Amino acid sequence: MILTPIPCAQLGEALDRFASQLDHPDARDAFARIRATSAERASRDVAERHRLQALQLAEDFGVPVHPPGAHSGFNWDGAALDACTEAYVTLHEIAHFVLAPPERRRLVDFGLGPGPDTRERAAAEAAAVAPLLEREADEAEASLLGILWEAALGQPALASFLDQNWLEGLDRSAARHFTEVFARLQRRGLIDPALLPS
């Protein structure tokens, strides 16, 4: 959900302003890759191809996935991912899996509390173990890592960048926040020297 929607006619100028505030060359290059993708979600056959790419990435990372048709009240139920979600949601959850310490991987929604798509919200809140600041940091890192995977796969990363509010505070802190989160991912070894998520 975009907190402050930007009209289509003003999007290019807003993205230019954001890019101009990125002082870190690697962060600037990563944003350029995101910006080169579509701001519109894929549909039908393309969306299904993207979903299958995301599931392949889950397999590559050793992330368990429920078989098709098995529905859960969570995107991550402490054992496996829901296979029936959109590609960008799956990539975001894979990022949470990669970021989570082993003890949090056994918890619904990685012990971070309910996400926007969580249907069993009370159970997810009861399973939350991470303090609020840790939740916020993890959420930002998972968001950006998932978006970078979308860009690397040629999926509509810009749509997720906008949906996940990376332009919020455009003239105050948005570019600094992006750079700080990107740098944390680099320090954790999750961005390779070619500026692609590893």
Residue-level pLDDT, tens digit, the chain, 198 residues: 566 778 888 999 999 999 999 999 999 999 999 999 999 999 999 999 999 999 999 999 999 999 987 777 888 999 999 888 899 999 999 999 999 999 999 998 999 988 878 888 888 888 888 888 888 999 999 999 999 999 999 999 999 999 999 999 998 899 999 999 999 999 999 987 665 666
Q: Count how many Cα atoms sit within 13 Å of the Cα of residue 162 in the half-sphere of its side chain.
A: 19
pTM: 0.93
Position 53: which residue type?
Q
What lies within 8 Å, CB to CB, of 45 at 6+ separation is none
Classify each residue of 124-149 as buried b or exposed e, where b means 16 or more C-beta atoms within 10 Å of its C-beta.
Answer: beebbebeeeebebbbbbbbbbbbbb
Separation of alpha carbons 49 and 52, rounded Å? 5
Separation of alpha carbons 143 and 135, rounded Å? 12
Separation of alpha carbons 36 and 191, rounded Å? 18
